Structure 1
C-alpha cells in the first residue's frame, strides 16, 4: 500500500506541473523508495524528467520552450522555483515547502500531509539511473541487502549517521562502502561488469561466508583501509589514487569525476574508523555479540520486531487531486486498531567465525 501511495503522489505532482512543459514530463520516484535498500517511512525522492517531442510525426504542431538562461544549472533553478510555487499554492496536501536551490543538486522539499511522507523533487537525471544501478547490485547476491541494512543499523546506533544532511556520512555513502567491500573481500561476494550505466554480475560468487562473518569483516575493513591516500572505485572494485584531498573518496560509478562522499569531514572519517575498530575488537574478544552492536549503547536485546505500526493515515484519493480542502489543512486521521502482532523477547545469539 505504501509503495502504491508513493507512485500516486508522483502522479499528483505530474498533474500539477505538466502545464509548464510543451510535452508532459515524467515524474518518477528514485532513491530508497525503489532501489531495494529503503525502509518504511523513508523520504520520497522524485525526479522530473522532461520529454523531447518526436518531430518526425506529421500533422502535429509543437510548441517550443523558451530557454531561461545559457546555464543549464540556472535554468533548472528557475524551473524548480516555478514548481515550488505551484506545489505550495495549488497542490493539495503539500505543506512546509522549502526551495533548496543553491545545493549541488537543487531540490524542492516539502511535506505531503495527505500521504504522510516527506518529499524531495529534483531534475537530476542521474538519480533514477543510480536507483536502477543499486537495484542491480542488490539482486546479485542474497546477502547484499541484509548486510547493508545491518551496517546502516550499526552506524545509526553509533551516531555516525543522522536524518539531517551535514558533514557526516550518509546512508548512500555507507551503501557505497559496503558494495566496495563486497567486491574486494576474498573471495569476492559480487564481481561486477559495467556497460554504460548498467551493471551485471561477471560470475557466480564462490564466497560462502555468512552474514555475521561478512559484518565482522566489514568492521575490520573499515578499521584498516587507508582513507588518507586511497579512494574507492565501484567500477573496478579496487582502491584507486585520490584525485583530490577529500577525507573520504568514493567514485560515482555513473560519473567517475564525482565523489559521492564529498561532504564527509576528516573528523567523521576518523570517528568511523575508530568505531569500526572498537566493534571488531568487541566481537573478537567476545565482549559483545554482533546483535548487541546493532543496538544503541545501554539497550537490551529484549526488543519487539514488529513495534512499528502497520497502519497508514486514512484519506480519500480524490483529496490528492481536488481543492476540496485548503492546502495544508490536516487530513482526517482516524486511527485504525493496531493489527500488528507482538512477538516475545528474542534471546541473545552471537555470530561466530568459522
Structure 2
C-alpha cells in the first residue's frame, strides 16, 4: 500500500490547494454584501437580513465551492417561517431585482423544489450562489458541522478531500441522482464514528434532540440553547478518557473507501444513522418506513429526513464502483503520484500541483491570471496583515470558540503546520468581518 506516497499527496499538495485562503473568505463575504444591497432595494424584503450558511459557515468549503445564502424575514424576535408560496413570490421579486442590478449571470429560479431556491453565478470569480428564504435550520446545521470539525482537524480535511474525489467520479450532484455535499459530510462523520478506535461520538452525545423540532419561539433563545448544549457536551466528551485514534489522513481515507465499497448492497437492508453512530435495519426503524429510497442516510438534525433522498438506484451502483475503483488504485503497488492525484482531484485542481516546480509556486498555488472559471491570483502570505473589509451582514453569529477543545489533541496537533489557516483563525475573520 503506497501510504507514504498518499501521505505526501495529501499533506503537501491537495490540502494546500483546496483549502481556501484569506481572499477566498473575503470574496464570499463581498458577495453577501452585494446581495444585501439588492435585498435592501426590494420593498417586500424591508427589515430582512442576509445570512450565509452551508459549507462556508461550517468551514467545509473549498476554493471552488458554491455559496449558500438565506434571507431571513423580519418577525420581531421570533423565528420566521414563511410558507412556500410566499417564498416563491419573494424569490421572484429578488430575481427581477438581480436582473436590474446586474453583477451576476446564469439566473435560475427553482420554484417547485422542496425548498425554493434562486441560483445565480456572481461576477466575483464566477462563484455559484444558492439563495433561499428563512433557512435558519440550514444555518444551524452548518454551525453544528463547524463545531464537529473543531473536535478533530482531520474531519475538516477528510470532508474536503471526499468532496473533490466525488467530483472526479461524478457522484456529488443531487440533480443527477448522486450525493449532495451534506450527505458526503454525513458519510465522513459516520466513518469517523465507526473506525477503530472511534474519532467522533454518536451525534446524540453532542445534541440529544432534533434541532428541526427545537427551532421554535424566540430565535436568540432557541439558538443559544442549541449552542450551549453542543458546547457543554463537546467539552464533556473532550475530558472523558478514551482510546485515541492516531491514524493519518491517508489511512483513514483508504478505510473510508473500503467501508463503503459495498454501499449499494448494504443499503438494501440497512440505513446509516449518525445520530446513533451505527448501521440500522430499515425494517426495524418505523421512522424510515416505507422504504422508497435507494439509500437512507438519516439527517441527524432533522430526523427522520433522508439527506440522500435524491440518490437513484442506478446511480448507487455507480457510487459503489467509484469507492471500489479508487480503493484499488490507491492500494496498488504500481500507483504513482500522478495517478493518485488524477484519482482524487479534478483537473482544475491537479493543474496547480503539476506546476509545483515552476517559479511563482508557493504553498500549493501557482500565480496566474484570474478569470471567472479559475482561482484568483494570490500574493504574499496566506493570512495578510491589515484592516479587514467592511461589514457584510446585519446578523452576527455568536460563536464562542474558547469553550471548544479537541477531543483528539495529539492527532489534531499534527495538522497545524501545513501552511493554511486553522479553524480558530478562520473564525477570527468571521468575527472581525461581521462587527
Query: RCO (CA 8 Å, sep 6+): is it higher in 1 or 2?
Result: 2
After TM superposition, the structure 1 = structure 2 runs for residues 41-60 of structure 1, keeping only pairs within 5 Å, are 41-53=64-76
Unaligned runs of 5+ in 2: 1-22, 212-225, 283-287, 357-363, 382-435
Match status 1:177 vs 2:199: no
Who is 1:95 aligned against? Answer: 105
The Cα offsets for residues 20-60 of structure 1, whole Å up to 9 and x where unpaired, read as 357511211112222211111322211011132269xxxxx
Kindly state the Cα deviation for residue 289 of structure 1 after the two structures are TM-superposed: 6.2
After TM superposition, the structure 1 = structure 2 runs for residues 89-128 of structure 1, keeping only pairs within 5 Å, are 89=100, 91-114=101-124, 116-123=126-133, 124-128=135-139
- Secondary structure class of the residue paired with 2:311: coil
Alignment TM-score, normalising by the size of structure 2: 0.62
- Secondary structure class of the residue paired with 1:137: helix
After superposition, the Cα gap between the structure-2 partners of 1:245 and 1:212, relative to the gap in structure 1 and judged at 3 Å, is same
Match status 1:4 vs 2:26: yes
Aligned equivalents of 1:159 and 1:54: distance in 2? 43
Aligned equivalents of 2:379 and 2:77: distance in 1? 51
Who is 1:228 aligned against? Answer: 268
Question: Do the aligned partners of 2:120 and 2:129 also contact (CA within 8 Å) in 1?
Answer: yes
Question: Do the aligned partners of 2:95 and 2:107 also contact (CA within 8 Å) in 1?
Answer: yes
The Cα offsets for residues 229-255 of structure 1, whole Å up to 9 and x where unpaired, read as 111112111112332231121111221
Match status 1:24 vs 2:36: no
Aligned equivalents of 1:251 and 1:180: distance in 2? 11
- Secondary structure class of the residue paired with 1:109: strand
- Secondary structure class of the residue paired with 2:65: coil
Question: Do the aligned partners of 1:212 and 1:290 also contact (CA within 8 Å) in 2?
Answer: no
Q: 1:259 aligns with which of 280, 284, 306?
A: 306
Match status 1:134 vs 2:156: no
Question: Do the aligned partners of 1:9 and 1:115 also contact (CA within 8 Å) in 2?
Answer: no
Alignment TM-score, normalising by the size of structure 1: 0.74
Q: 1:187 aligns with which of 188, 191, 197?
A: 197
Question: Do the aligned partners of 1:152 and 1:171 also contact (CA within 8 Å) in 2?
Answer: yes
Aligned equivalents of 2:96 and 2:190: distance in 1? 41
Aligned equivalents of 2:249 and 2:68: distance in 1? 30
Kindly state the Cα deviation for residue 75 of structure 1 after the two structures are TM-superposed: 1.6
Who is 1:325 aligned against? Answer: none
After superposition, the Cα gap between the structure-2 partners of 1:337 and 1:312, relative to the gap in structure 1 and judged at 3 Å, is closer
Q: 2:248 aligns with which of 210, 213, 223?
A: 210
Q: Comparing 194-203 with 143-152, which one deviates more in the overlay?
A: 194-203
Aligned equivalents of 1:20 and 1:126: distance in 2? 25
The Cα offsets for residues 133-156 of structure 1, whole Å up to 9 and x where unpaired, read as 211121111211222222233323
Question: Do the aligned partners of 2:370 and 2:377 also contact (CA within 8 Å) in 1?
Answer: no
Question: Do the aligned partners of 1:309 and 1:340 also contact (CA within 8 Å) in 2?
Answer: no
Question: Do the aligned partners of 1:247 and 1:264 also contact (CA within 8 Å) in 2?
Answer: yes
Question: Do the aligned partners of 2:191 and 2:256 also contact (CA within 8 Å) in 1?
Answer: yes
The structure with more radius of gyration: 1
Match status 1:85 vs 2:107: no
Say what the alpha-carbon RMSD is for the aligned residues: 3.4
- Secondary structure class of the residue paired with 1:223: coil
Unaligned runs of 5+ in 1: 56-64, 314-329, 331-335, 342-354
Question: Do the aligned partners of 2:31 and 2:124 also contact (CA within 8 Å) in 1?
Answer: no
The Cα offsets for residues 138-192 of structure 1, whole Å up to 9 and x where unpaired, read as 1111211222222233323333335x83212233322211111111112111114
Aligned equivalents of 1:138 and 1:74: distance in 2? 36
Question: Do the aligned partners of 2:271 and 2:296 also contact (CA within 8 Å) in 1?
Answer: yes
Kindly state the Cα deviation for residue 283 of structure 1 after the two structures are TM-superposed: 4.3
After superposition, the Cα gap between the structure-2 partners of 1:185 and 1:224, relative to the gap in structure 1 and judged at 3 Å, is farther
- Secondary structure class of the residue paired with 1:45: strand
Question: Do the aligned partners of 1:248 and 1:261 also contact (CA within 8 Å) in 2?
Answer: yes
The Cα offsets for residues 291-345 of structure 1, whole Å up to 9 and x where unpaired, read as 7444149x999723545547767xxxxxxxxxxxxxxxx9xxxxx987589xxxx
Who is 1:247 aligned against? Answer: 294
